[in-house]
């Protein structure tokens, strides 16, 4: 972290304060979505000059953020990632200090444990932005369900994303294991058990069997979360929470809604 960044943060904070309450009601990304051409000289220095989306305080407030706005934040971040024009927001010492005593993430994600699909990177967000639960095959277990209930009930998260990805090793293991009838070793059998309904439902569909099973599983997990009683279903029914299945493309880096 450098002096330039700190002064930039302060300057932008003062500018935002001057905009008044209407401006403060806007989400942080609304301030950060600059074109390359509009950036100052200091901001063009490179990725180390982090926190370009210098936020009005608090950095990650999800107050007044609708499910749709949260979706827009993620998709804008993924666009930056795909075009390698990342902001790397909320990685600074200032952000860390602001977040030391509390969090208000704007999205929760059920993602695969796969090392190639870290949500904060593929959506170009930082500390305090995303509440992540990661399990191979992005499957939902009881502890994961409780984690999402906590995120929604206590942290006010308005959006849950099930983030599946192509060529998922867990899905491949499940499809191959179910086809061959071989029992997977150790606790991998539990992953296969949880993925089996999606594999069974998609097995006769045209196209790539692994891709089909991965898509089906993501949609099933999203439906399971959306119908989870008593906390999540009530929020979904009341329009306070959205649950969306997405697919990450390993080749292009693009995230699409399923």
Do β-strands 159-165 and 130-134 pair in parallel, antiparallel, or remain unpaired? unpaired
Nearer to Zn ion, 94 or 114 (CB): 114
| Distance separating alpha carbons of residues 197 and 192, to the nearest angstrom | 9
CA distances from 46 to 7, 9, 51 (A): 17, 16, 11
Residues 95 and 127 sit within 8 Å (Cβ to Cβ): yes
**Does 168 contact Zn ion by CB under 5 A?**
yes
Using rule CB under 5 A, residue 130 touches Zn ion: no
Q: Work out whether 112 is an interface residue with Zn ion (CB under 5 A).
A: yes
Q: How many residues bind Zn ion (CB under 5 A)?
A: 3
Residue 127 makes contact with Zn ion by CB under 5 A = no
The piece of 23-31, 45-53, 108-116, 233-241 that touches Zn ion (CB under 5 A) is 108-116
Interatomic CA distance for residues 117 and 26, integer angstroms: 29
Least distance from C-beta 140 to Zn ion, angstroms? 14
139 lies in the binding site for Zn ion (CB under 5 A): no
For the CB of residue 6, give the shortest distance to Zn ion in the complex, in Å: 39
> Site for Zn ion (CB under 5 A): which residue of 114, 120, 124, 129?
114
Q: Which is nearer to Zn ion, 156 or 253 (CB)?
A: 253
* Residues in touch with Zn ion (CB under 5 A): 112, 114, 168
């Amino acid at each position: 972290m450098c002096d330039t960044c700190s002064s930039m943060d302060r300057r932008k904070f003062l500018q935002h304060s001057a905009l008044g309450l209407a401006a403060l009601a806007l989400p942080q990304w609304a301030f950060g979505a600059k074109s390359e051409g509009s950036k100052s000289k200091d901001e063009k220095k490179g990725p180390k000059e982090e926190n370009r989306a210098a936020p009005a305080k608090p950095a990650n407030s999800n107050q007044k953020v609708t499910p749709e706005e949260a979706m827009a934040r993620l998709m804008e971040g993924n666009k930056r990632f795909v075009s390698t024009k990342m902001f790397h927001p909320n990685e600074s010492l200032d952000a860390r200090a602001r977040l030391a005593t509390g969090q208000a993430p704007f999205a929760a994600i059920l993602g695969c444990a796969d090392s190639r699909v870290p949500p904060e990177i593929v959506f170009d967000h930082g500390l305090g932005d995303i509440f992540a639960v990661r399990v191979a095959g992005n499957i939902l277990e009881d502890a994961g369900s409780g984690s999402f209930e906590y995120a929604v009930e206590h942290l006010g998260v308005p959006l849950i994303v099930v983030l599946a990805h192509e060529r998922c090793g867990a899905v491949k293991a499940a499809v191959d294991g179910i086809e061959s009838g071989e029992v997977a070793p150790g606790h991998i059998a539990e992953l296969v058990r949880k993925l089996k309904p999606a594999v069974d439902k998609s097995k006769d569909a045209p196209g790539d069997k692994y891709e089909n099973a991965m898509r089906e599983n993501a949609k099933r997990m999203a439906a399971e979360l959306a119908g989870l009683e008593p906390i999540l279903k009530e929020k979904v029914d009341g329009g306070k929470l959205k649950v969306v299945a997405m697919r990450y493309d390993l080749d292009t880096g693009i995230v699409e809604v399923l």
